[in-house]
DNA sequence: TCCCAATTTTACCAATCGGTCAAGATTTTG
DNA sequence: CAAAATCTTGACCGATTGGTAAAATTGGGA
């Protein structure tokens, strides 16, 4: 099943997918400790023992789901291009992050949950891949600042600000739904407009 | 113990406090389902049965901790004063929220955790107290916009932005610690400077 | 169609979980 | 100081949890 030399059968592919979907739902809501194998199995429409035929332990399911979302997390930031216009780059970055939040809020919440639990499973990812990428992109932002294209802000904190304000719509969706009756599309449209205008007006040099 | 006519003894006061402290720690990390009574008791330095002498059920502990932080959540936003200068008010709001994040990150994470679990315990708080306050303060912000003091942004989204970017330092502290070696004080000082400058430059009318 | 591999289900296990209770220890009160 | 009140804890309970093994069922290829 996790052997690279074995073929994945039709049933395996289907069931693994079902399990990962169900697991994403449950882990993103209740975290690792708060989610039971039975919950995931029920959501995936199978028995617990059946689920454990495909993934040996609860931990393996969790890691598989986490791994399935981590590349998504790196990708938008990796796109920030030093040689392009900062206004366009930052606007695109905010857009992409909001699109992610809208299209896969559970992934955002899973990530948030993992971080709040102290990131037991992804500490290497944070300290290596993410750290390297963030440092690289801080240099991009600093380059723009040094060239007089952006106001002198702390690059890392600008990145945090964009992460925070775009992910918020996914992570705190329950709160937001209690506060507004806007449709999803209107909500994200207004978010995009507001965040872009404030961030860009706040960092661009005229 | 929860009877309003009974005196709280010295030991009760001390032990209840210990339990709430320990519970804040555990619930903020693992959420309701992921936290056991034994964990809390161990952290509070007592037996599980002793803990249950003071709080009848796990749910009662959870509610007590939640209730102890919810007023903190309303208070900074409640202070936004329509008759004062928006620059000062927004700056103060950001400052206060960052102070909260720095001084009680666990409360922030507990709140985030409760929201991500679908807010089963605080739906009334969200729909009533918080909603009313947010609507009221949206009018304050809209008033400033109508008087030409702020750029025309969606008030609710400005509030979300400030919440998101200030709470992020508490909620994602593990991630931030992996990305930077700054001291806590330097981190929050830079956060304050960056967030204030971007938000204020982004919404103030010159 | 048959046979074997893959998949699913059932039954089971030890450990943990939220909670209860009663007895002994400690603190408070008059 | 003694009695009453409060506090603490070990033992216990039924239910749940992550997981295992074997039996039953299904799928696929010759």
> In this predicted model, what pLDDT tens digit does every residue of B155-196 receive, in sequence order?
999 999 999 999 999 999 999 999 999 999 999 999 999 999
**Structure confidence by residue, pLDDT tens digits, B69-81:** 998 889 999 999 9
For residue A58, give the nucleotide whose C1' atom is nearest its CA: D18
CATH number assigned to the domain comprising residue B45: 1.10.10.60
B2 lies in some domain: no
Judged against a pLDDT cut of 60, whether residue B45 lies above it is answered with yes
Q: Does residue B87 share a domain with residue B154?
A: yes
- The answer to whether the beta carbons of residues B156 and B130 sit under 8 Å apart is no
User: How far from the centroid of its chain's Cα atoms is residue B88's Cα?
Assistant: 22
For residue B49, give the nucleotide whose C1' atom is nearest its CA: D9
- Over residues B60-77, the mean pLDDT reads 93
Q: Does residue A26 share a domain with residue A116?
A: no
Cβ < 7 Å from strand C, B residues 69-88: none
Q: Does residue A148 share a domain with residue A47?
A: no
**In this structure, what token pair is assigned to residue A147?**
């060239």
- The answer to whether the beta carbons of residues A79 and A96 sit under 8 Å apart is yes
- Over residues A113-126, the mean pLDDT reads 96
- Over residues B34-52, the mean pLDDT reads 97
- Over residues A62-88, the mean pLDDT reads 93
Judged against a pLDDT cut of 60, whether residue A118 lies above it is answered with yes
- List all residues 6 or more positions away from B80 whose beta carbon is below 8 Å from its beta carbon: B89, B93, B137, B140, B141
The distance in angstroms from the start CA to the end CA of chain A is: 57
Torsion of CA A182, A184, A190, A196, to 10 degrees: 160
Judged against a pLDDT cut of 80, whether residue B5 lies above it is answered with no
Residue A7 — pLDDT band, cuts 50, 70, 90?
low
CATH number assigned to the domain comprising residue B177: 1.10.357.10
Strands (E), B8-81: none
- Over residues A1-13, the mean pLDDT reads 67
Q: Using CB atoms and an 8 Å cut-off, which of residues 145-164 of chain A contact chain B?
A: 151, 153-154, 156-158, 160-161, 163-164
Cross-chain CB nearest to A199 (options B134, B164, B202) = B202
Final residue of a structural domain among A35, A56, A77 = A56
Q: Does residue B14 share a domain with residue B110?
A: no
A113 lies in some domain: yes
Q: Does residue A47 share a domain with residue A116?
A: no
Burial (CB count <10 Å: 0-12, 13-18, 19+), residue A121? middle
Q: Does residue B187 share a domain with residue B110?
A: yes
**Structure confidence by residue, pLDDT tens digits, A194-206:** 999 999 999 999 7
Cross-chain CB nearest to B29 (options A116, A161, A194) = A116
**Structure confidence by residue, pLDDT tens digits, B178-188:** 999 999 999 99
Nearest-CA residue of chain B relative to A138? Answer: B179
Judged against a pLDDT cut of 80, whether residue A3 lies above it is answered with no
The C-alpha of A6 sits at a distance from chain B's nearest C-alpha, in angstroms, of 36
Q: Using CB atoms and an 8 Å cut-off, which of residues 43-102 of chain B contact chain A?
A: none
**In this structure, what token pair is assigned to residue B17?**
């406090």
Q: Does residue B76 share a domain with residue B36?
A: no
Helix, strand, or coil here: B204? Answer: strand
- Over residues B9-30, the mean pLDDT reads 96
Q: Is the CB of A79 under 7 A from strand D?
A: no
The C-alpha of A9 sits at a distance from chain B's nearest C-alpha, in angstroms, of 35
Residue B3 — pLDDT band, cuts 50, 70, 90?
very low
Q: What's chain B's average pLDDT?
A: 94
Domain count, chain B: 2
Give the span between the Cα atoms of B23 and B26, in whole angstroms: 5
Pairs across A and B, CB distance < 8 A: 182
Q: What's chain A's average pLDDT?
A: 94
**Do A161 and B118 lie within an 8 Å CB cutoff?**
no
Q: Does residue A45 share a domain with residue A109?
A: no
Q: Is the CB of A46 under 7 A from strand C?
A: yes
- Over residues B41-60, the mean pLDDT reads 97
How many angstroms is C1' of D17 away from CA of B180? 39
Q: Does residue A169 share a domain with residue A88?
A: yes
Q: Does residue A130 share a domain with residue A179?
A: yes
- The answer to whether the beta carbons of residues B105 and B191 sit under 8 Å apart is no
**In this structure, what token pair is assigned to residue B27?**
């619930």
A64 lies in some domain: no
CA gyration radius for chain B? 20
Percent of chain B with pLDDT over 70: 97
- Over residues A123-143, the mean pLDDT reads 96
- Residue B176: its pLDDT value, please? 98
Give the span between the Cα atoms of A16 and A49, in whole angstroms: 14
Give the span between the Cα atoms of A30 and A43, in whole angstroms: 14
Q: Which residues of chain A does B33 touch, with a Cβ-Cβ cutoff of 8 Å?
A: 30-31, 33-35
- Residue B47's domain comprises 10-56
Judged against a pLDDT cut of 50, whether residue A13 lies above it is answered with yes
For residue B60, give the nucleotide whose C1' atom is nearest its CA: C18
Judged against a pLDDT cut of 70, whether residue A5 lies above it is answered with no
A3 lies in some domain: no
A148 lies in some domain: yes
Q: Does residue A128 share a domain with residue A99?
A: yes
B108 lies in some domain: yes
Q: Does residue B144 share a domain with residue B110?
A: yes
Give φ, ψ of B204 to 5 degrees. Answer: -75, 145
- Over residues B96-110, the mean pLDDT reads 97
- Min mean pLDDT across A3-7, B25-29, B138-142 is at A3-7
What ipTM was estimated for this complex?
0.93
A4 lies in some domain: no
- Residue B206: its pLDDT value, please? 75
Judged against a pLDDT cut of 90, whether residue A132 lies above it is answered with yes
A128 lies in some domain: yes
Residue A6 — pLDDT band, cuts 50, 70, 90?
low
- The answer to whether the beta carbons of residues B203 and B162 sit under 8 Å apart is no
- Over residues A67-83, the mean pLDDT reads 91
Sign of torsion over alpha carbons B96, B93, B67, B9: positive
């Amino acid at each position: 099943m996790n052997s690279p030399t074995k073929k994945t059968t039709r049933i395996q592919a289907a069931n693994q997918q079902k399990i990962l979907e169900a697991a994403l739902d449950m882990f993103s809501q209740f975290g690792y400790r708060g989610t039971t194998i039975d919950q995931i199995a029920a959501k995936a429409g199978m028995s617990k023992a059946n689920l454990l035929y495909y993934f040996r332990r609860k931990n393996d399911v969790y890691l598989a789901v986490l791994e399935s979302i981590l590349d998504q997390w790196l990708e938008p930031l990796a796109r920030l291009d030093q040689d392009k216009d900062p206004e366009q780059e930052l606007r695109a970055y905010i857009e992409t992050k909001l699109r992610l939040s809208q299209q896969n809020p559970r992934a955002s919440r899973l990530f948030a949950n993992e971080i709040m639990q102290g990131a037991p499973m992804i500490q290497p990812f944070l300290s290596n891949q993410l750290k390297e990428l963030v440092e690289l992109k801080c240099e991009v932002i600093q380059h723009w600042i040094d060239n007089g294209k952006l106001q002198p802000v702390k690059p890392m904190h600008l990145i945090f600000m964009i992460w925070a304000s775009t992910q918020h719509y996914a992570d705190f969706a329950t709160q937001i739904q209690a506060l507004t009756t806007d449709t999803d599309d209107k909500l994200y449209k207004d978010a995009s407009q507001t965040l872009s205008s404030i961030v860009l007006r706040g960092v661009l040099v005229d």
